[in-house]
Structure 1
Amino acid sequence: MTHSVVIIGSGFGGIGMAIRLGMAGIRDVVILEKDRELGGTWRDNTYPGAACDVPSHLYSFSFEPKTDWTRRFPPQPEILDYLRHCARKYGVLDQIRFGTEVTEARFDEDAALWRISTTAGELDARVLVSACGQLNRPALPEIAGRGSFTGPSFHSARWDHGVDLRGRRVALIGTGASAIQIVPEIAREVAELHLFQRTPPYVIEKPDRPYPPWKQSVLRNVPGVYGLSRARVYAQLESRALGFFKYPKLMGLMEDRFRRDLRDAVGDPALRRALQPDYRMGCKRILVSNDYYPALTRPNVHLVTDPIERITPSGVRTSGGEHPADVLVYATGFSTTDFLAPMKIVGRDGRELTEAWRDGARAHLGITVSGFPNLFLLYGPYTNLGHNSIIYMLESQFRYVTGCVDVLRRRDLAWIDVRPHVEDAFVREMRARMRTTVWEAGCDSWYRRADDTVVNNWPGFTFAYRRATRRPDPRHFRARPATSG
């Protein structure tokens, strides 16, 4: 069966895109979801303490405000409930095909259709939208003996809630955004926690607080208050952008504040030295927490900085010796630079996307890829942020993609395909601008590829991205009329 639009993924990108298409009168939309429930990363990450590090008023769609968040920084269950609510309210739930994983999508140029193969059968689409995101494929480290551990072991994004950690020895590998939320939660109940750190992160204060019922009532009933709160949060976060992409030396001021706070939080000089990063703040993701450093000072928590040599049947061996464990948890992040993997995507002339991206993922505005007509990416290359809400970026992309679909419909076009020189010019601009950013300040991070290029992040203000994606420029595309050929 042929559909107007097929969307892959039912996280914020997929749900929001379907809603915006519906608002534009485009209702023949199907969402393909490999899991049995919607939610994307907020469905998958249910580890203890899972929460967002962006304030709740900005981590929601502008067209569907939520005034009853319980906290300034929303916990995972509330975010997932919000997505479910949006899907129900706007009729998107009926458009989702659960348990349907895409294995291949191939563009049929003669028919001007995407032929999509899934684990549940075949279907066709005039337009294909990938809403898979950048944080959906857990990455496990290449450590010798990883399969030899005899106790329970799992990735933080696949948390095994059937494993009782009370009174047990836990080895947690990784000190990223998930780990700093997990550590304070489980440290209170485990017998021992060995936390294996390769590189210390910058962890700053999290200005979190509950929203009491009276404040929720004001946000809900007093006109303009919610909008002002959202605008204030946006302005605060956006002001940090200069330190990321324009004047990285500004991060020095935040580093001074970090060192003072670290000194106040951690009294042990040796532990404090182990927690002091030796790279420019912002080069890796800046983390927010009020209870991570206090948790590390507990007598049952041990920070291990010796390099890991191998996993053994009974624990983790480092250059400093053996660390016995009953449970092993990998908080080791995600495969972030492959984007659409492991799907096979084939465009015009039989060219595979992996071949087009052999030198790194590339897409005009992070959305359209030359040689792959009527294919649009959400949260694609060059659209991740270090300072603001990705929901804002997604909404910019929703408008752009909806505009492209509208052009196809109004002008009776079979397909549109971004011109190679347009894509090339955008990528050259991104790489030139990236050289002055803090992300290329010399540290290893999930933003960087093996060749040291950064293809994930947007090196600019989010309002500049919104302006750039205001509407598709017909001059940027090759097109074929629907009546030709």
Structure 2
Amino acid sequence: MTATSTTDQPEQPDYEVAIIGAGISGIGAAIALRRAGIRDIALFERASDIGGTWRDNTYPGVGVDVPAQGYQFSYALKPDWSRVFAKGAEVKSYVDDCADRYDIRRLVKLNSEVTARVWDDDQSLWRLTIADRPVTARFVISAIGPFIEPKPPAIDGLGDFEGTILYSTSWDHRVGLAGKKVAIIGTGASAVQIIPEIAHEVARLDVYQRTPIWVTPKPDIGTPELASVLFKAVPPVQKLVRNAAARMMEVLLIGVAVNHETLAAVNHGTTRALRDIWYRLQVRDAVTRRKLTPDYDFGCKRPATSNTYLQTFNRPNVELVTDPIGRITRGGVETVVGIERDVDVLILATGFRTATDPEAYRRTPVRGRAGFDLATFYSEHRARSYESVSMPGLPNYFTIFGPYGWVGGTWHDLVETASNHIVRVIKEGHRRNATVVEVREDAADRWTEFARERMSHSVWAIGNCATANSYYYDHHGDTTYIRPTSAREAWHASRTFALEDYEFRFGPPIDIAFDGIEVAQPIASLSPADR
């Protein structure tokens, strides 16, 4: 239910803007707000440190699967990335540096999990429950990313296992693997990085694969010192490199996958090249190679990049198991055909609940105007949004990554684009002295229909994806993960969408902390081509 206040006196919120999450999304949103002059901000982080996925994921081999030059904010370029595909610790260091450089760390409240978000229509503010205490905010920005929490594996007997269980999202580095019998369940992006790193030290490694994954070559080399010197001395050169790296990723994702109807021949050519050339060069045994080769089109499921993953299955101590798991026993893993393999250490790399999974909002509910409940909505209705940033029923509430949210370049493009949109709305509300802003129903319906129509031409709609088991599809069968536009289109829309697509309403007197200072070069003024 929508919260209601018992007092007739207008209540001033504790914060103008509450940001949930202090990873790349939350820090990027906070930087954008501060650069726009909005300073009454708090970031609530459930963990004991900032960094999001780069804090949580420290498993062997963790690193970016896109070029590091593209994996950074346009206004905070790092000239000395150590290699093309940076390792996790270096990315975490970059996130820390951004937080310090833009004075964001002091705004972060650590060990502060937001367990409930409830809109108070009488007072025009959000009531948050944080570590069992109430906090109020005029606006809320959800910056928790696309992967909300690890998905519990639905495997019988997991609680009976007497060995050691490791999780890709919370790796225990005190556990040694040398000489042990190890099994890993899952062959997604994390597993692709873990498996080659541990295969050489374990006595035996059983890899339990439900769905094979397309794995592309990884041009991973160290960054030449001369390049770092040049980037530091002439930043515009690095901007060009960053843009090129981001656009290259965008061509693969948006240019080919979303425009599958037009570019199906390119997709099929890529699929054949991987299957007939790359996989043959990497895997010697024909039976194993056939099991590792997907039977769906490239792009249906998020591909991985690695020069070592496929080769790992040439090792005599590595076995690929494709029979479904029947149960976990006290001492190992038993498949449905009755074969049990002894295991000392079990590694779970079984994926996450995504941002439109209703279960992600059961434990930490989001309840808006007139009884709107986000978990119920996602459960009973197809996902929708306005520019992936806002939804009707959730006043003064924005999401960095909402339905149809992934911008085709890199995550930082997405964060900057969404932040531009949010800043425009908040500042317009301030200009109009409005305490409530909410996207109109017709605007959300119109934009969602636009996204769905574009998606109807994609590989996910008309390609060969039936066996992909891809998290790109939600439980309604829609592919709401990807924004079916270019990064340039998304950036332009964030600066030009009609403000009248929002309703601005008036409630208790507004008291916004706003610097009113001039910012020499606000983020919103830079196009992808200029970054």
Q: What TM-score does the superposition give when structure 1 sets the normalisation length?
A: 0.96
Q: Is the 8 A contact 2:267 2:298 kept in 1?
A: yes
| Contact 1:172-1:195 within 8 A present in 2 as well | yes
Q: Distance in 2 between matches of 1:237 and 1:96?
A: 32
- Match in the other structure for 1:403: 424
Secondary structure of 2:50's counterpart equals coil
| C-alpha spacing 1:56/1:167, structure 2 compared with 1 (3 Å) | same
- Distance in 1, Cα, partners of 2:75 & 2:18: 22
1:456 aligns with 2:481: yes
Counterpart residue type for residue 239 of structure 1: V
Q: Give 1:478's match in structure 2, choosing from 503, 513, 517.
A: 503
After superposition, residues 9-408 of structure 1 pair within 5 angstroms as 9-119=21-131, 121-240=133-252, 241-247=254-260, 249=264, 250-259=266-275, 260-320=277-337, 321-336=339-354, 337-338=356-357, 341=361, 342-357=363-378, 358-384=380-406, 388-408=409-429
RMSD: 1.7
CA distance in 1, matches of 2:332, 2:409: 39
Aligned-pair CA distance for 1:271: 1.0
Does residue 444 of the first structure (1) align with residue 472 of the second (2)?
A: no
Between 1:336-345 and 1:430-439, the stretch displaced more is 336-345
In the alignment, the residues of structure 2 paired with residue 405 and residue 451 of structure 1 have an alpha-carbon distance, to the nearest angstrom, of 32
Which runs of 5 or more structure 1 residues have no equivalent in the other structure? none
SS at match of 1:413: coil
What is the CA distance between 1:143 and its match in structure 2? 1.2
Separation in 1 of the partners of 2:141 and 2:194?
33
SS at structure 2 position matched to 1:114: strand
Residue type matched to 1:447 in 2? Y
The SS at the match of 1:446 is coil
Q: Are the counterparts in 2 of residues 138 and 155 from structure 1 also a CA contact under 8 Å?
A: no
Q: Secondary structure of the equivalent of 2:413? A: helix
Helix, strand or coil at the partner of 1:309: strand
The Cα offsets for residues 190-236 of structure 1, whole Å up to 9 and x where unpaired, read as 11100001111000001111113232112111342211211221332
Unaligned runs of 5+ in 2: 1-12, 511-531
Structure 1 position 472, deviation (Å):
4.6
Task: Supply the distance in 2 between the matched residues of 1:44 and 1:361 (Cα, whole angstroms).
Answer: 28
- Conservation of the 8 A alpha-carbon contact between 2:119 and 2:369: yes
Amino acid at match of 1:414: T
- Counterpart Cα distance in 2 of 1:216 and 1:484: 52
- AA aligned to 2:481 is N
Q: Distance in 2 between matches of 1:362 and 1:421?
A: 11
The alpha carbon displacement at 1:100 in A equals 0.5
CA distance in 2, matches of 1:154, 1:223: 42
* 1:426 aligned residue (431, 447, 454): 447
Structure 1 stretch 321-330 or stretch 455-464: which is displaced more?
455-464
CA contact (8 A) 1:382 1:430 kept: yes
CA–CA distance in structure 2, aligned partners of residues 292 and 286 of structure 1: 13
Instruction: Give per-residue Cα distances to partners, 1:261-313, cap 9 Å, x unaligned.
Output: 11111121111111111011100001100110111111111111111111111
CA distance in structure 2 between the partners assigned to 1:94 and 1:350 by the alignment: 35
Moved more, 399-408 or 237-246: 237-246
Counterpart contact for 2:79–2:232, Cα < 8 Å: yes
Distance 2:482 2:509 in 1: 39
Shift in Å at residue 431 of structure 1?
Answer: 2.1
What residue identity is the alignment partner of 1:242?
G
**In the TM superposition, what is the alpha-carbon distance from 1:120 to its structure 2 partner?**
5.0
8 A contact 1:18–1:92 mirrored in 2:
yes
C-alpha deviations, 1:348-406, integer Å up to 9, x for none? 12321223333243221111110111100011211125x53121111100111111111
The alpha carbon displacement at 1:57 in A equals 1.1
How far did residue 474 of structure 1 move?
2.1
Deviation of the 1:482 alpha carbon: 4.6
Distance (Å, rounded) in 1 between the aligned partners of 2:235 and 2:386:
39
Rounded to whole Å, the distance in 2 between the matches of 1:359 and 1:213 is 53
Distance in structure 2 (CA, Å) of the matches to 1:122 and 1:483: 20
Paired residue secondary structure (2:150): coil
Distance in 2 separating the partners of 1:450 and 1:18: 32
User: CA offset at residue 238 of structure 1?
Assistant: 2.5
Deviation of the 1:471 alpha carbon: 4.2
Q: Distance in 1 between matches of 2:371 and 2:214?
A: 45
Name the CA distance, whole Å, in 1 between partners of 2:187 and 2:47. Answer: 28
For 1:452 and 1:143, locate their aligned partners in 2 and report how far apart those are by CA, in whole Å: 24
Aligned partners of 1:474 and 1:392: how far apart in 2?
22
Is the 1:366–1:381 Cα contact (8 Å) retained in structure 2?
yes
* SS at structure 2 position matched to 1:57: coil
User: Mean alpha-carbon deviation: is it higher for 146-155 or for 192-201?
Assistant: 146-155
The whole-number CA distance in structure 1 between the counterparts of 2:426 and 2:249 is 32
Distance 1:235 1:352, change over 3 A: closer
Query: When the two structures are superposed, what TM-score results if normalisation uses the length of structure 2?
Result: 0.88
**Structure 2 residue identity aligned to 1:271:** T
Question: Is this contact kept in 2: 1:40–1:136, CA < 8 A?
Answer: no
Structure 1 residue 40 displacement after superposition: 0.7
1:466 Cα shift? 1.6
Residues 404 and 472 in structure 1, CA contact (< 8 A), matched pair in contact too: no
* Partner-residue secondary structure (3-state), 1:224: helix
Distance apart, 1:484 and its partner CA: 8.0
Separation in structure 1 between the aligned mates of residue 336 and residue 140 of structure 2, nearest angstrom = 49
- Identity within the alignment, %: 37
Contact kept? 1:338, 1:361, Cα under 8 Å? no
Deviations 1:123-154 (A, max 9, x none): 11111000011124111221111211111113
